[in-house]
Amino acid sequence: MKSLTDCFTLSNGVKIPCIGFGTWKAPSGDITKNAVKAALDAGYRHIDAAQAYANEDSVGQGIKESGVAREDIFITSKLFNPFHSYEKTKDAFEKTMKDLGLDYLDLYLIHWPNPISIRDHWEEGNAETWRAFEEYYAEGRIRAIGVSNFHPHHLKALEKTAKIAPMVNQIRLCPGDTKEEIVSYSKGKNMLIEAYSPLGGSGPENLISAPLLVSLSEKYNKTPAQICVRWCIQCGYLPLPKSVSPTRIFENVQVFDFELDSADVDKLSALQGYPDPFPHPDEITW
């Protein structure tokens, strides 16, 4: 990957820009709208949204006001946890389309494999949801379908009934949180790995303040965030950095003019103590 417009190719041939703009925890309203506009102005052509973020109307408005042609933007959304059934998925999808103001979606993901609402029948719930995904895909209303936060046992369960294999698995990946088993299994099934929270998120053990990140930032004359995004790219992952600051939105994708030494990539992968622990999808309470 040499520029922000370079793309990965999904298993069905669909091209997906190599860095996406994340919108998690961006508040609904002008802040999110303006952040999306700033991202598109900075050259992003990939926007990652979700119904759970409760800001898709603002994301859609930002896309509309950006002036960038719809066909030039790759837009992702995700199914919210309470809607894991065939009919509920249909209703949730239509709401997302209305909120975003779209006629079609480039990628739709099951956000979590085992939400609390279907804990006692998650395999059936995911199978019924996936059936609805496949129908929308066949109709051309979704160009690609996939999952998020799925571990191998969730993927194996879905394989029992799926007619179309997931094309993406979006998981939390960053230096210090590499999820080798999930990555290996997903890649073995021809899924692209997307890395959300590539900067590690916030918390007491904030990744970008880790001594190793600070040291490498000085070595490469890049921000710790840029080091994290570059690490993702060199590992073959598609990073989804998020910010609502126009300056940081721009900075986060200035990552194509340097390359991390392979030894530094390994050090980042083996980082201990950072970032903060992440919940297991079978134990989430939402």
Q: Are 182 and 281 in contact (CB under 8 A)?
A: no
**CA triple 54-56-59, angle to 5 deg:** 130
> 235 forms bridges with which residues in the sheet?
none
- Work out the burial of residue 41: count CB atoms within 10 Å of its CB; fewer than 13 is exposed, 13-18 middle, 19 or more buried: middle
Tell me which of 53, 108, 137, 237 is the catalytic residue. 53
> How many C-beta atoms lie closer than 10 Å to residue 263's C-beta?
8
Tokens of 85: 């059934």
Four-CA torsion 233, 256, 6, 67, nearest 10 degrees: 120
By DSSP bridging, strand 15-17 and strand 7-9 are antiparallel
CA 215 to chain centre: 27
* Three-class DSSP category at 67: coil
Instruction: Judge whether 53 counts as a catalytic residue.
Output: yes
Tokens of 108: 């739709």
Q: Are 214 and 224 in contact (CB under 8 A)?
A: yes
Q: Are 259 and 226 in contact (CB under 8 A)?
A: no
Q: Are 243 and 217 in contact (CB under 8 A)?
A: no
Mind telling me the catalytic residues?
53
